[in-house]
Chain A
Amino acid sequence: MKRAIVLAWSYVRLALMNELQYRVNFFIQLFESALALLTALVVLALVYSHTDNLAGWQRGELQALLGVFTMLMALLQTSIQPNIVRLLSDIQQGTFDFVLVKPIDAQWQVSIREVRIWQLVDFAAGAVIMGHALWQMHAQLSLTHVVLFALTLSGGALLIYCVMLLLASLAFWAVRIDTVFEIIESITGAGRMPTDIYPRWMRIILTFVVPLAFAVTVPAQVITNRATPADVLTQIGVTAVFMLVTRIVWQKAVAHYNGASA
């Protein structure tokens, strides 16, 4: 356990040292994050120029949701996605062998190898957007809210991680699955809006296939004081189930792996 954490930390440090060499990238990322957020805020402004509530969501609440979505996507870009990309190329090229021969759990290893620190700018941007929304709503935040929010946000990130790794595990059987990821990525965009506004079939996809309903909506509900204890417990339960399933599928997938020369 301790060894696993030390290893993860050294990967982070390595990434830090590597990326601090390219400081201009920070400003590029800053500009891109600002632009993406501005566009999203313009959409919000457009929507609320015609109404003051969208399917029961006030403007501030929806802005908080947008902040949560941005934060989760930042985590996805910082760590989950680059790791998955590397895993996929390892499987395609057979270099996954090198992962297996190392004396540390393979799933842990493939999940920590890559870190893109500049993407954290997006995380900060999401936090600012959410903070601004809460401030405007004069939200009264108790410590319980903050703790539960941190908990459900991490749960959301873990859920997204599970979905990505589950899909990546398919690559052990059907080597080329990049296309699947493109489709998933486009579905993900739907997460910036509350799932209440979508037609039923779309809600089902967003709940069970790409569980954004749990990953994004629940933390946003918690921080805007709209969540029931049942919402939080369901999210934690779903996350636990997803993690278990991911673990089982991953182990089956690795067992199926033949190696580069086979």
Chain B
Amino acid sequence: MRQLWAIYRKLITTSVAVMLQYRLMNVAWLLSMVFEPIVYLAIWGTLATQQGGVIVGYSGASLAGYYVAWTLVRQWNVALTPFGFEQRVREGQLTLLLLRPLHPFHYDLADFIALRFVGTLYWLPVGVALVLIFQPQFSTDWRMGVLFFVSLVLSFIMRFVLVYALGLVTFWTTRVSAVFNLYFAVEAIISGRLVPHALLPAWVQPIALVLPFRWSFGFPIEIIIGKLSIAEVLSGFAIQLAWLAISSVLFVVLWRAGVKKYSAVGA
């Protein structure tokens, strides 16, 4: 365990150093994520104004808070997509990764943890600019800040394992991108990325609570803008952990079966 920790530290520092070289690319990557929430904020902000300043409990300022926090959560949501994994299988790169002494998952996780550090670093000035422009309103309770960070870390790990596990399906067939596209479209709609949970149609809301999507996106945002009580946050953590457990089991099962099946395309 201590050895693994040392390896992770080394891998992460190396990754961070590599990523910091591409400054312009990082900035562009970040900026390309900033305009999407501005569109949503404009829509719901306009609606709130039209309806006398509040829409389903969201004022203009709390909507601004929602979509400013969105930009950070979006950063933390980035994971190794099934498309990425499919490419490895299809092009046979996975063979090389399997030969390394450590499970490929560790290298990827370390890489994406490093991306969190770099992404957050680059996000800071953008976040400040967004706060100045949109005058958002956040929770003034410091405990919510701490809980927000915990939920952010949990949502990252949970979604990372889940999406990674989905990618393992490509051990059996590499022609599933349509299915994944459908998955991500559903995720975009009910995770809170397009619209806060409370603004979803009433019949969708309970469904969204059962599925993992909201817990890796809307949940941390709702914490930092003060929409949830401490008790709600804690039970949310439990659901995040439950999904992490389910994803991990799924990952282990699929990996064991898949790796046996895998013989490198073209071999």
Question: Which residue of the partner chain B has the closest CB to A201?
Answer: B133
Extra 16 A-B pairs, beta carbons < 8 Å, given A54-B47, A190-B39: A28-B177, A32-B181, A42-B189, A43-B194, A43-B195, A46-B195, A46-B201, A47-B43, A50-B56, A53-B50, A179-B24, A180-B28, A190-B35, A193-B42, A197-B43, A197-B46
> A55 interface residue, CB < 8 Å from B?
yes
Contact with B along A190-214 (1 / 0, CB 8 A): 1011000111011000000000000
Contact (Cβ within 8 A) A186 B46: no
Q: Which one of A35, A46, A183, A201 contacts B194 once the chains associate, using CB atoms below 8 Å?
A: A46
Complex formed: what's the CA distance from A43 to B39 in Å?
Answer: 12
Residue numbers in B under 8 Å from A55 (CB-CB)? 46, 50
Number of A-B contacts (CB under 8 A): 81
Q: Which residue of A lies closest to B189 (CB)?
A: A42
Given contacts A50-B47, A50-B56, A193-B39, contact A183 B201 (CB under 8 A): no
Q: A43-B194, A193-B42, A202-B42 are in contact. Are A35 and B182 (CB under 8 A)?
A: yes
The distance from the CB of B31 to the nearest CB of chain A, in whole angstroms, is: 5
| A residues 29-80 in Cβ contact with B at 8 Å | 31-32, 35, 38-39, 42-43, 46-47, 49-51, 53-55
Interface residues of A in 176-191 (CB under 8 A from B): 179-180, 182-183, 185-187, 189-190
For B28, give its contact among A28, A42, A183 (CB under 8 Å). A183
Main secondary structure of the interface of B (DSSP, over half): helix
Looking at B32, B189, B199, which has the most chain A CB atoms within 10 Å of its CB? Answer: B32
In whole angstroms, what is the CA distance A201 to B129 when docked?
13
**Chain A residues engaging chain B, CB cutoff 8 angstroms:** 28, 31-32, 35, 38-39, 42-43, 46-47, 49-51, 53-55, 179-180, 182-183, 185-187, 189-190, 192-193, 197-199, 201-202
Known contacts: A35-B182, A202-B38. The answer to whether A185 contacts B32 by CB under 8 A is yes
Residue of A nearest to B36 (CB): A189
> Size band of the B side of the interface?
35 or more
Q: Provide the residues of chain B in CB contact with A201, threshold 8 Å.
A: 133
Chain B min CB distance to A71 (Å): 19
| B189 / chain A contacts, CB cutoff of 8 Å | 39, 42
Closest Cβ neighbor of A186 among chain B residues: B32
Q: Chain A binding site: helix, strand, loop or mixed by DSSP? A: helix
Tell me the residues in window 45-64 of chain B with beta carbons closer than 8 Å to chain A beta carbons. 45-47, 50-51, 55-56
The answer on a CB contact under 8 Å between B43 and A54 is: yes
Is B118 at the interface (CB under 8 A from chain A)? Answer: no
Instruction: Determine how close the nearest CB of chain B comes to the CB of A139; give it in whole angstroms.
Output: 24
The minimal Cβ–Cβ distance linking A55 to chain B, given in whole angstroms, is: 5
**CA of A49 to CA of B165, assembled, Å:** 36
Q: Does B153 contact A (CB under 8 A)?
A: no
